[in-house]
Amino acid sequence: MMNTINMTQSFKKSASHGESYHRESSLPHGLFITFEGIEGSGKTTQIQMLEEVLKKKGIPYITTREPGGTKIAEAIRHILLNPDLKEMRPETELLLYCASRAQHTAELILPALAEGKIVLCDRYFDSTYAYQGAARDLDEELINVLTKFSTYGRNPDLTFLLDLPVEIGLARIKNRNLDRLEQETISFHEKVREQYLSIARKYHSRYIVLKGESQPEEIHRQILASLHTYIGEQND
Ligand SMILES: Nc1ncnc2c1ncn2[C@@H]1O[C@H](COP(=O)(O)OP(=O)(O)OP(=O)(O)O)[C@@H](O)[C@H]1O
Ligand SMILES: [Mg+2]
């Protein structure tokens, strides 16, 4: 049984917003994996399936989410997603996401990576480019600056984008109590989807785009296949 992250393989070049860099392959710097996609695309489902495999293999990992992940960041999440706060300005929304991210990154993500863990994060800064950048039409240059500031310059090593038509994603979650962003219009979510696809093309070296309409088990199999250099084969 394999109980460490395989460090013999180089990490994919992390060419992301703001800066790009190569990582030494022998350092215990963990593996930062983010999951992105519109509402109902299956992010949480896939994270849970991957967690089961990591648990079984005894590979050290943490699972976390944005907005949230720490006490302060979860308190900010509560404000951000509250459907009663419809008067929230896009500017306020952007700053709250970044505030939450700074706390989450410093308090939870960076220490876990420093301990050599795999970090599974449900949404990260690409969500900000998709929702606040494209859908809310806020300035990308400003988001670049705020992103670098609130992430301390650490980019994800790998990002899985679960892509699917907006109608299918929203239909999957229609019986939930929808949060402030989930209640947005179809055209808002279309912009989010298009921006994700455009980010994935631009930063293709860290991106893996998956067809979100496939069966959960099939998507899971594809995720494991792309991680096999780090975590070994499924049945190891
Ligand atoms: N590949 C799939 N095919 C069909 N249904 C799925 C698939 N993946 C997840 N689902 C179902 O769709 C719903 C939404 O999935 P999930 O909560 O994982 O999405 P999400 O991306 O985390 O959504 P949100 O952004 O709202 O948190 C759940 O009821 C889940 O069981
Ligand atoms: Mg979810």
Give the C-alpha separation, 49 to 191, whole Å. 28
Instruction: Look at residue 8 and tell me if it is in a domain.
Output: no
Higher model confidence: residue 9 or residue 223? 223
Instruction: Look at residue 3 and tell me if it is in a domain.
Output: no
- pLDDT > 90? residue 73: yes
Domain that holds residue 122: 14-231
Instruction: Look at residue 142 and tell me if it is in a domain.
Output: yes
CATH of the domain at 30: 3.40.50.300
Instruction: Look at residue 176 and tell me if it is in a domain.
Output: yes
Give the C-alpha separation, 45 to 147, whole Å. 27
What are φ and ψ of residue 62, in 5° steps?
Answer: -130, 155
Instruction: Look at residue 5 and tell me if it is in a domain.
Output: no
Average pLDDT over residues 114-143: 98
**How many other C-beta atoms lie within 10 A of the C-beta of residue 64?**
19
- pLDDT > 90? residue 210: yes
User: Which residue in this structure is represented by tokens 């706390």?
Assistant: 103
Q: Who's near 8: CB < 8 A, 6+ residues apart?
A: 25
**Ligand showing the shortest atom-to-Cα distance for residue 46:** 1
Instruction: Look at residue 6 and tell me if it is in a domain.
Output: no
Instruction: Look at residue 208 and tell me if it is in a domain.
Output: yes
Q: Please say whether the beta carbons of 104 and 64 come within 8 A.
A: yes
Cβ of 31 less than 6 Å from ligand 1: no
- Enumerate the β-bridge partners of residue 14: 21
| Closest to 113 in 3D by CA, of 207, 5, 199, 187 | 5
- Structural domains counted in the chain: 1
**Ligand showing the shortest atom-to-Cα distance for residue 213:** 1
Question: Is the pTM higher than 0.85?
Answer: yes
Q: How far is the centre of ligand 2, averaged over its atoms, from the C-alpha of 93 (Å)?
A: 19
Q: How far is the centre of ligand 1, averaged over its atoms, from the C-alpha of 156 (Å)?
A: 22
